Amino acid sequence: MAHAETAMVLAAGYGERMRPLTLRMPKPLVPLAGRPLIDHVLNRLAGAGVETAIVNVHYLPDQIEESLARRQGMKPAIVISDERDQLLDTGGGAKRALSLLGPGPFFIHNADTVWSEGASPALPRMLKLWNPDIMDCLLLLAPLASSIGYGGKGDFAMAPDGRLTRRGERQIVPFAFAGASLCDARLFADAPDGKFSLNLLWNRALAKGRLYGMRLDGHWMHVGTPEALAEAETWFEHEGA
């Protein structure tokens, strides 16, 4: 079983769809079940054995830094990747932090994605499944049928061996990206400088047949809007996570 000592937590975005809540508060600090969204993420990473989380900041960064300072002494240790000068998107942000992430494998985790666990926790299962001989990246995928607050048409179809294909323009596919992936530094070979999306690197892996997925057993909460946040709160009240 692989071990991930580090993780990238993507916390720099504006959270525009979560307005008005995010006009004065960055989305990672929006509370769910009494805790900021980013605390749910960090606690889950700690449970998977991650020692250090690199957290990038851009929008209202001082608030995020102040909140994370309250976790002093808790795992994982926090290192800030400062993007105050330029928002680099998901791929560019992770590339800037590569020297801190190390060779990997490491998780790249959205700061605002939350799920309940099924029979076995998702992140340790991803580490068990990780195989760099055949994979450039492993994505956690949520079945649309058991997702909360998601109204889209899905992102990927998955073959029995876990290999992924993207949704076609007029298709509906069974799985949405659940906000967490596992990769190593090889994924960023020949990546561009500056701002770019992880989707660019995933498409390269797709073209080589090296983008894989793993199904989430539990319930994914797509807390993209205030309405979806309210749905997730209701779920927590009745079911717990």
For residues 72 and 166, is the Cβ–Cβ distance under 8 A? Answer: no
Give CA–CA dist 223/74, Å, rounded.
Answer: 25
The predicted-structure confidence for 185-213, as pLDDT tens digits, reads as follows 999 999 999 999 999 999 999 999 999 99
pTM for the model stands at: 0.95
pLDDT tens per residue, range 48-67: 999 999 999 999 999 999 99
- Domain residue spans in the chain? 6-239
Return the pLDDT at 157: 96
Structure tokens belonging to residue 142? 């949520």
User: What is residue 24's predicted lDDT score, i.e. its pLDDT?
Assistant: 94
> What amino acid occupies position 187?
L
Task: Tell me how far apart the alpha carbons of residues 148 and 155 are, in angstroms, rounded to a whole number.
Answer: 16
Task: Output the pLDDT for position 115.
Answer: 93
Count CB atoms within 10 A of the CB of residue 42.
Answer: 26
pLDDT at 76: 98
Question: Torsions phi, psi of 127, nearest 5?
Answer: -65, -35
- pLDDT at 241 (0 to 100): 47
How far, in whole angstroms, is CA 165 from its chain's centroid?
Answer: 19
What's the CATH architecture for 6-239?
Alpha-Beta Complex (3.90)
Give pLDDT, residue 240.
56
Q: Given this model, what pLDDT does residue 224 score?
A: 83
**For each successive 10 residues of the chain (241 residues), what is the average pLDDT?**
94 92 94 94 97 97 96 96 96 97 97 89 97 98 91 93 92 93 97 97 97 95 88 80 47
At position 226, the amino acid (one-letter code) is: P
